[in-house]
Amino acid sequence: MPGDAPAVETDPLDPHLPPYAGIAALESAVAEMPHGVVLRYGALYGPGTWYAPDGAIAKRVRAGVLREAPSWTSFVHADDAASAALAALDWPAGVVNIVDDERRPRPTGCPSTARRSARPLRAARKHAAATGRPASNARALSLGWKPRVASWRTGFARMDVPVRTD
């Protein structure tokens, strides 16, 4: 649900977002398991993802069809997501947000290869998370998980993906 503070695992999901029904059903089913853990990942980036230099987002920027979304985004590097999945085998049952330590605040631009493109980003007409909020990783940290890539800014720089922040 929209709010001013980063979302924690006990905050209700926004029932107006398109994937809500499926996610709510999954989380409900897992909650019935004695040791079920649900990992709520941020937007994955890294090699082989949409946010890689050769990924779908970069392709959309180069084609001039990426629409800028005025939304919060919490990212997590794919390697950190994998380490969380392994760590979760020993965690107590429940929901855990898996995101890095730095949220991409709105309304700044999407991390992308936009600076490499001569085409500007177009404004989005509507975005599912336009009124959303970032996620907190405090519970994951309290369980002993720590992202090796603490900030998407650092992670994108390591991949040589310029970060658009204007």
Structure confidence by residue, pLDDT tens digits, 33-78: 999 999 999 989 999 998 888 888 878 877 878 766 666 778 999 9
- What CATH code is carried by the domain that includes residue 85? 3.40.50.720
CA distance 30 to 19: 17
Q: Give the chain's domain count.
A: 1
pLDDT exceeds 60 at position 162: no
Enter the pTM of the model.
0.81
The helix, strand and coil proportions of the chain, stated in percent and rounded to the nearest 5, come to 30, 15, 55
Give a yes or no: residue 105 inside a domain: yes
What is the longest distance spanned by two Cα atoms in the chain? 53
Give a yes or no: residue 10 inside a domain: no
The whole domain housing 146 covers 20-158
Residue bearing the bigger pLDDT, 123 or 39: 39
Calculate the CA dihedral of residues 53, 55, 60, 63 and round it to 10 degrees.
70
pLDDT in tens, 6-38: 899 999 888 888 888 999 999 999 999 999 999
